[in-house]
Amino acid sequence: MIDLHCHTLHSDGTDSPEGLALLGDQARLTALCLTDHDTLGGIPAFLAMQSQVKVRLLVGTELSCRFLGQSLHVLGLLVDPLDARFQARLEELRGRRDDRNRRMLVRLAELGCPVTYEEVQAQADSPLLSRVHFAMALAARGYVRRPPEAFERLIGDNCPGFVPREELSPADAALWIREAGGVPVVAHPGRFGGRGFRWDEAMAELQRQGLEGLEGYYGEYLAAEQKYFMALAARLGMVVTGGSDYHGANKPGLRLGRGRGGLQVPDELLEQLEDRQQQGAH
């Protein structure tokens, strides 16, 4: 059993990279890929744990893209953590995130909920600030009772305090990831689109833009969704990956490797992913 999608406190999770590696071992996983948003900041500490754990530790990241007017997440699996150009590109993305965050502070003040950059930073254990940390800062100030209420009223995608980031195109994300030796994969396609959205044509379009795989196993999928995405990947010739999207205490109830309980991502998906990575290298 493997898990190719999870987060640490280097983005919006709550575990340290070291703790996550140990947790992967405890869960008896054969491989674990760390995929923090927009950063490889947790990777050195994560990889340094390899001598202490049996689980194979792998490198990844998760990028936010714009597709059909919505936010689409793309995983960069098996990227080279020492690729300087990729690191610079990630740094540019973090700059865009920081601009967005500063504009969100202005918007929140206009809405009568002023918080400072320092108050948001105080909720995070790393420099990367996400809306999860905004939600905690808003709760700490007493504007909302609990962080989820901040997403309902203030900073959720359709709320007045939300400011979108300048996001990448899926084509650029795919190119960046491939140039860093990784495999670009559509993250949790089941979370994209509204009721009745049909993925068939949209996924073929993403494939034309360079996406090579899709998450067919996911911590929060229903059995029918898993079946649908597996069939779609087979039809298009895309690789299937899978993971829990574990965030520690920031997504309660989601367990590493197991998701809500029933997740089981087979080992052979990693072999297929590595085959695809090799093909890309030629």
The binder of 245, among Mn ion, ligand AMP, none, by C-beta within 5 to 8 A per type, is Mn ion
State the minimum distance, in angstroms, from the CB of residue 13 to ligand AMP: 9
Contact between 188 and 213 under an 8 Å Cβ cutoff? The reply is no
The binder of 132, among Mn ion, ligand AMP, none, by C-beta within 5 to 8 A per type, is ligand AMP
Q: What's the CA gap between 125 and 112, in Å, rounded? A: 27
| Residue nearer to ligand AMP on the CB measure, 12 or 215 | 12
The binder of 156, among ligand AMP, Mn ion, none, by C-beta within 5 to 8 A per type, is ligand AMP
What does each C-alpha distance from 50 to 47, 58, 270 come to in angstroms? 5, 10, 18
State the minimum distance, in angstroms, from the CB of residue 131 to ligand AMP: 4
Q: What's the CA gap between 17 and 24, in Å, rounded? A: 11
DSSP letter for each residue of 119-183: HHHTT-SSS---HHHHHHHHHHTTSSSSHHHHIIIIISTTSTT------B-HHHHHHHHHHTT-E
| Residue nearer to ligand AMP on the CB measure, 85 or 103 | 103
State the minimum distance, in angstroms, from the CB of residue 124 to ligand AMP: 11
Q: What's the CA gap between 185 and 204, in Å, rounded? A: 13
| Residue nearer to Mn ion on the CB measure, 5 or 178 | 5
The binder of 73, among Mn ion, ligand AMP, none, by C-beta within 5 to 8 A per type, is Mn ion
Please report, as ranges, the residues that interact with ligand AMP according to CB under 6 A.
Answer: 12, 37, 130-132, 148, 151, 156
